[in-house]
Amino acid sequence: MSMREPQFSLAVKNPGVREITFAEAVREAIAEEMRRDPRVFVIGEDVAEAGTVFKVLKGMVDEFGPQRIIDSPISEAGIAGIGVGAAMTGMRPIVDIMFGDFITLTMDQMVNQAAKTHYMSGGKLKVPMVLRTTMGATRRSAAQHSQSLHAWLSHVPGLKVVIPSTPYDAKGLMKAAIRDENPVAIFEDKMSYQLKGPVPTTEYVLPIGVADVKRTGEDVTIVATSSMVQVALKAAEILAESGISAEVVDPRSTAPLDKQTLIESAKKTSRAIVVDEGYQSYGVTAEIAAVIADGAFYYLDAPVKRLGAMDVPIPFSPPLEDLTVPTPAALVDLAKSLCGKV
């Protein structure tokens, strides 16, 4: 099947496709890889009987046992380091970090160890590990359980960073990450775990570093990541009612970044907005906007616009929290003004 094919019609067209949730897709991917490769294991807090706090790995310990679905102490730095060492010596660890906010505790192991080992050893040692964690606000979890810190790891050469937005992508990219020879961080939007989408029953793996056009359009490109893909698709529907045809492009990974697809889309539509749930300053939107401005400059009719999370610690109070995250309405307003149709 083509990666460009709109996914939401797949289930209808193809009897080998069923609708499953994002969480089920992640679980399927890990279980399939653990069946095919005895080197793969999971280590993290409450991953075994609890199946993680989000129940994503529910039931896996029954099939694979506590030797391969390992409940760890609350020691993020320790398990990240153990992942690096196990990966260097023949295993394929999946280190589960419950909340993306807690990657701060793994930083030395990810930034100074995992990312640099292959290069510093002159290409001899490899660190084929996956760091699985979450991102995304609006779960009323306040400032230390709501951040989207994927830009942090995207900044470091040697790491790959995957940010899937649909069940289909989540499964195919998780399988690719587990098979990758490099350290790969996967950020899953916790508000997307119940999102349903078509996923083939047959095996597939998606390449890391290839963007996906989630909706084709002519007037404006909306580059949207992870949680913001659904926001962008909603905005695109509303814009269509106003006669604005929006193209939604999902990079699916920030490192490596599929610059070519983003630039080609912006060249085609001549306008671009980048939306991402990380903090706006020094973040993913800034990098992608710069890539598009550089690569599509002569084709653009307007400056590239950005929408990220508001630069504030994420507040607990629901009406306040909702103000910090980009919404379809905000995206619609921005797209209309960019297209001169306010």
Give the residue numbers annotated as catalytic, written as ranges. 76, 145
CB of 144 to other proteins, least distance (A): 18
Output 123 or 319, the one with its CB closest to other proteins: 123
> Got the DSSP string for 233-298?
HHHHHHHHHTT--EEEEE-SEEES--HHHHHHHHHHHS-EEEEEEEESTTSHHHHHHHHHHHHHGG
Output 116 or 140, the one with its CB closest to other proteins: 116
* Residue that the structure tokens 């993306």 belong to: 100
For other proteins, the binding residues (CB under 8 A) are 41, 67, 72-73, 75, 77-91, 93, 108-109, 112-113, 117-126, 128, 157-158, 160, 181-182
Output 175 or 215, the one with its CB closest to other proteins: 175
How far, in Å, CA of 198 to CA of 176, rounded? 18
> Hey, what are 183's tokens?
């350290």
CB of 130 to other proteins, least distance (A): 14
* Residue that the structure tokens 């980048």 belong to: 274
CB of 208 to other proteins, least distance (A): 10
CA distance between the termini of the chain: 39
3-state secondary structure of 76: helix
Q: At residue 14, what are phi and psi to the nearest 5 degrees?
A: -120, 115
3-state secondary structure of 74: coil
Output 129 or 170, the one with its CB closest to other proteins: 129
CB of 39 to other proteins, least distance (A): 8
